[in-house]
Amino acid sequence: MRTARRLRRSRLDPGVTMRRFLAGLLAGACAFAFTANASAQVEIDITRGRTDPLPIAVPSYVASGDTAELSTQITEVIEADLERSGLFAPIDERAFVEQISSINVRPRFADWRVIGARVLVTGEVEPLGDGRVQLNTRLWDVAGNQQLGSVAYKTPRENWRRAAHKVADFIYSNLTGEEGYFDTRIVFVSESGNKLDRTKRLMIMDQDGANPQALTDGLNYDVLTPRFSPSNQQITYLALFDNQPAQVYLFNIETGEQEALGTYRGMTFAPRFSPDGQSVLFSVEQNGNSDVAIMDLRTRRLRTLTDNPAIDTSPTMSPDGRQIAFASDRGGSQQIYVMDADGTNQRRITFGEGTYGTPVWSPRGDLIAFTRQYKSRFYIGVVRTDGTGERLLTESYLDEGPTWSPNGRVLMFHREERPGGPVGLYSVDLTGQNLRPVPTPGEASDPAWSPPLN
Amino acid sequence: MIKRTLGKAGLILALGAMAACASTPEEANTASDYETVAPTTTARTEPVGPEPGTLEDFQQSAGDRVFFGYNQYNLTNEAQGTLSRQAAWLKEFPEVRLRLVGNADERGTREYNLALGARRANAAKSYLVGLGIDPSRITTISYGKERPIDPRSTPDAWAKNRNATTMLVSVGS
């Protein structure tokens, strides 16, 4: 198998790149580009299975004034983001020949070539008078002796991690041609206690595990299967009560407000937002039978989409809003089905042995991720939306509940490696490579990736 | 009052010990040990037995759990027997309301197991209703795979965790 990473001249139109810079500029509250002059000259093709990560040098950001400690921390976050993606291999700073003391001087490219760097990142952290700092970053093509791009962000000091993630996103995006996913967050279920007396709380953290924060106390109900709204201010989740049927809830991250989505005699469960954030799809259980329904969040009107004596659950809508995938055991074992958004044209797309559950439509629209169970093992896999091209990416005693990174390149899920062992979060590339544990405070399950933050 | 409670506990322990002695090791991990614990209805009239109409009485007279096969929600003969005893007991104590909780083992996804638990609770409810219990006395809940009664990851534990459990939610004075 040939290496999938390749360096090549960018085919990107500089105008497109400029527009992307400007779009980022407009979206970011504290971001602006101080130069937006370069298109990518070094590019990683991440659509193929790759073998070698790109050697990259990220010398410590140049400090000025009182930013020495901050510069070190920012550099570490940027480097860690790049390393964890599996696409980059940061070079140990002890190998560096040139010491960067200003980012406005051309680096000595030969000094970076000699240590094997393909790309060099230089940066500085400048204190601003108003308590904020400015991060200036330049990206260099070491072999081509030229600057690939540059970016600057102003940020309140306490938001330095987000600014660092934005820089990592800039580097990732410049070198892969894909949107970055480092400035994102994860909601998940924090699990504590033994199996007979388990508490499951809703938590949120940065995608790299920093800043974990509990959103529910776990006293009156457990939280399961949280999902992010594409509009980013809301989460929908399942509240599991001891003395009443489980119910789908909405949670506003900013205000902390929670509300049940309607009141039903039976259980509502398996919620997921529509891609436009205007509706929530979920299952409604009546007299033991579960069907898929969609609720318009403005009118609160519920429309049932399936009417089948089998278990129909785990609905997920395609990014264009035209189709819905769901899991059903109407054929005997649970498999994945796809239907039109109005509930018509229901057809089965998976036919493999074992069972398939928790379908999740890729943000790119071309794939559906799922949990497959076969004999006594669980797998995370992907399949094209017509049911062809199934690939299993992971396997363990229990792998369950994939969620897509917003750029559709990485999947996160939860794993119980061995029977009775601790449950935790993991991420894996769409290629099946770069399997990594995701750090959480204690045991964790049911991750859900946020859209890119603004 | 304290004495009576102690007496009751003593009887339960004694019955448990008898059941343990009577069971082979294989049987001890199956549904049958719940059945063997149950005394005949005459035990309820004994002055030292559980107070009639209480949860202890219900558990001993009828058994509060029925068990299911993997990914199944049909009632076995044994489950039907337990539910028939539950129905007889519930007819004796018409003021008692109950919550039927459906549970699943850990071998499935959260979402599917929630649905499966609902099926199991409702299968048990339907059977009781078919035996003449007023459906308005019964609510159903699914805990999916979230509330195991046996924490182990073994076939025995999974068999126990695939159940519908009858809980008494209000007992008349």
Distances (CA, A) of B98 to A90, A313, B78, B121: 62, 27, 20, 12
Residue of chain A whose Cα is closest to the Cα of B70: A333
State whether A357 and B108 contact (CB < 8 Å).
yes
Confidence of residue A7 (pLDDT cuts 50, 70, 90): very low
Enumerate the β-bridge partners of residue A413: A426
Q: Do A322 and A430 lie in a common domain?
A: yes
Q: Do A147 and A190 lie in a common domain?
A: no
Confidence of residue A32 (pLDDT cuts 50, 70, 90): very low
Distances (CA, A) of A219 to A78, A198, A268, B47: 38, 11, 21, 40
CA distance B111 to A355: 13
CATH assignment at residue B166: 3.30.1330.60
Q: Do A269 and A418 lie in a common domain?
A: yes
Residue of chain B whose Cα is closest to the Cα of A373: B108
State whether A311 and B119 contact (CB < 8 Å).
yes
Mean pLDDT of A27-47: 43
Which of A227, A283, A311 has the most B C-beta neighbours within 10 Å, making it the best mutation to test the interface with B? A311
Residue of chain B whose Cα is closest to the Cα of A315: B111
Q: What is the pLDDT of residue B11?
A: 31
Of residues B92 and A31, the one with the higher pLDDT is B92
CA distance B136 to chain A (A): 12
Confidence of residue B28 (pLDDT cuts 50, 70, 90): very low
CA distance A152 to A30: 10
Chain B contacts of A446, Cβ < 8 Å?
A: 110
pLDDT at B24 > cutoff 60: no
The 10s digit of each residue's pLDDT in A316-360 is: 999 999 999 999 999 999 999 999 999 999 999 999 999 999 999
pLDDT at A43 > cutoff 70: no
Q: What is the pLDDT of residue B53?
A: 86
Q: Is the dihedral of CA B164, B167, B169, B172 positive or negative?
A: positive
Tokens 């999938």 belong to A4
Confidence of residue A50 (pLDDT cuts 50, 70, 90): low
CA distance B148 to chain A (A): 6
Picking from B118, B146, B152, the nearest residue to A288 by CB comes out as B118
Q: What is the pLDDT of residue A430?
A: 95
Q: What is the pLDDT of residue A29?
A: 30
pLDDT at A2 > cutoff 90: no
Residues of chain B contacting A, Cβ within 8 Å: 71, 73, 99, 106-112, 114-116, 118-123, 125-126, 139-144, 146, 148-149, 151-154, 169
Distances (CA, A) of A299 to A281, A283, A294: 14, 18, 12
Query: B94 Cβ partners below 8 Å, 6+ apart?
Result: none
Q: Do A140 and A84 lie in a common domain?
A: yes
Q: Do A134 and A201 lie in a common domain?
A: no
- Interface pTM, i.e. ipTM: 0.88
Residues of chain A contacting B, Cβ within 8 Å: 194-196, 198, 200, 222, 224-225, 238, 240-241, 243-246, 266-267, 269-270, 283, 285, 287-290, 311, 313-314, 327, 329, 334, 355, 357-358, 371, 373, 376, 397-398, 400-401, 419-420, 446
Q: What is the pLDDT of residue A73?
A: 97
State whether A314 and B114 contact (CB < 8 Å).
no
Q: Which domain holds residue A379?
A: 185-449
CATH assignment at residue A135: 3.40.50.10070
The two tokens of residue A255 are 């205000």
Of A176, A204, A227, which residue constitutes the final position of a domain? A176
Greatest C-alpha distance within chain B: 48
State whether A246 and B122 contact (CB < 8 Å).
no
Confidence of residue A284 (pLDDT cuts 50, 70, 90): very high
Q: Is B100 exposed, middle or buried (0-12, 13-18, 19+ CB in 10 A)?
A: buried
Q: What is the pLDDT of residue A262?
A: 87
CATH assignment at residue A238: 2.120.10.30
Residue of chain A whose Cα is closest to the Cα of B120: A288
Chain A contacts of B148, Cβ < 8 Å?
A: 195-196
Q: Could you report how far apart the first and last alpha carbons of chain B are, in Å?
A: 17
The 10s digit of each residue's pLDDT in A401-437 is: 999 999 999 999 999 999 999 999 999 999 999 999 9
Q: What is the pLDDT of residue B6?
A: 31
Q: What is the pLDDT of residue A395?
A: 97
Alpha helices in A40-87 (DSSP H): 68-84
Enumerate the β-bridge partners of residue A132: A156
State whether A267 and B118 contact (CB < 8 Å).
yes
Q: What is the pLDDT of residue A162?
A: 97
State whether B153 and A419 contact (CB < 8 Å).
yes
Mean pLDDT of A192-220: 95
> What is the residue type of A118?
R
Q: What percent of chain B has pLDDT over 70?
A: 71
Q: Do A283 and A172 lie in a common domain?
A: no
Query: A147 Cβ partners below 8 Å, 6+ apart?
Result: A37, A38, A138, A139, A140, A141
Q: Do A348 and A396 lie in a common domain?
A: yes
Query: A354 Cβ partners below 8 Å, 6+ apart?
Result: A333, A372, A373, A374, A375
Number of domains in chain B: 1
The 10s digit of each residue's pLDDT in A52-98 is: 899 999 999 999 989 999 999 999 999 999 999 999 999 999 999 99
Low-confidence winner among A15-19, A105-109, B70-74, B134-138 (lowest mean pLDDT): A15-19
On whether residue A98 sits in a domain, the answer given is yes
User: What are the two backbone dihedrals, phi and then psi, of residue A378, each rounded to the nearest 5 degrees?
Assistant: -115, 145
Q: Could you report how far apart the first and last alpha carbons of chain A are, in Å?
A: 39
Mean pLDDT of B142-158: 97
State whether B151 and A196 contact (CB < 8 Å).
yes
On whether residue A255 sits in a domain, the answer given is yes
Q: Do A193 and A140 lie in a common domain?
A: no
Cβ contact A222:A203 at 8 Å? no
Of residues B53 and A341, the one with the higher pLDDT is A341
Enumerate the β-bridge partners of residue A412: A403, A427
Q: What is the pLDDT of residue A51?
A: 61
Q: What is the pLDDT of residue A35?
A: 35
Cβ contact A226:A448 at 8 Å? yes
Confidence of residue A23 (pLDDT cuts 50, 70, 90): very low
Residue A59's nearest CA partner among A45, A47, A71, A46 is A71
Query: B142 Cβ partners below 8 Å, 6+ apart?
Result: A245, A246, A267, A285, B101, B102, B103, B114, B115, B116, B117, B118, B120, B121
CA distance A287 to A20: 52
CA distance A163 to chain B (A): 36
pLDDT at A10 > cutoff 80: no
Confidence of residue B46 (pLDDT cuts 50, 70, 90): low
State whether A373 and B107 contact (CB < 8 Å).
yes
Instruction: Tell me what the pLDDT averaged over chain B comes to.
Output: 79
Q: Do A222 and A146 lie in a common domain?
A: no
Picking from A196, A267, A283, the nearest residue to B148 by CB comes out as A196
Mean pLDDT of A143-162: 96
State whether A311 and B115 contact (CB < 8 Å).
yes
Cβ contact A359:A390 at 8 Å? no
On whether residue A400 sits in a domain, the answer given is yes
CA distance A414 to A401: 7
Residue of chain B whose Cα is closest to the Cα of A222: B146
Q: Which domain holds residue B107?
A: 2-170
Of A176, A211, A243, which residue constitutes the final position of a domain? A176
Q: What is the pLDDT of residue A129?
A: 86
State whether A290 and B118 contact (CB < 8 Å).
yes
Low-confidence winner among A139-143, A239-243, A262-266, B13-17 (lowest mean pLDDT): B13-17
State whether B107 and A376 contact (CB < 8 Å).
yes
Q: Do A119 and A264 lie in a common domain?
A: no
Tokens 């971001």 belong to A31
Confidence of residue A99 (pLDDT cuts 50, 70, 90): very high
CA distance A299 to chain B (A): 26
Q: What is the pLDDT of residue A45?
A: 61
CA distance B22 to B106: 30
Picking from A246, A289, A371, the nearest residue to B114 by CB comes out as A246
Q: Do A196 and A105 lie in a common domain?
A: no
Relative orientation angle of helices B110-130 and B77-92, to the nearest 10 degrees: 60
Provide the 10 A C-beta neighbour count for residue A48. Answer: 13
Alpha helices in chain B (DSSP H): 2-22, 25-28, 32-37, 42-45, 55-61, 77-92, 110-130, 155-161
Element (H, E) at A23: helix A14-27
CA distance A439 to A356: 27
State whether A355 and B112 contact (CB < 8 Å).
yes
Q: Are strands A355-361 and B97-103 parallel, antiparallel or unpaired?
A: unpaired
Number of domains in chain A: 2
Encode burial over B114-150: b for 16+ CB neighbours within 10 A, e otherwise. Answer: bbbbbbbbbbbbbbbbeeebeeebbbbbbbbbbbbeb
Mean pLDDT of A371-379: 96
Q: What is the pLDDT of residue A397?
A: 97
State whether B114 and A200 contact (CB < 8 Å).
no
A–B interface: beta-carbon pairs under 8 A: 103
On whether residue A8 sits in a domain, the answer given is no
Residue A330's nearest CA partner among A302, A349, A307, A310 is A310
Of A122, A153, A176, which residue constitutes the final position of a domain? A176
CA distance B166 to chain A (A): 12
Residue of chain B whose Cα is closest to the Cα of A354: B108
Instruction: Tell me what the pLDDT averaged over chain A comes to.
Output: 90
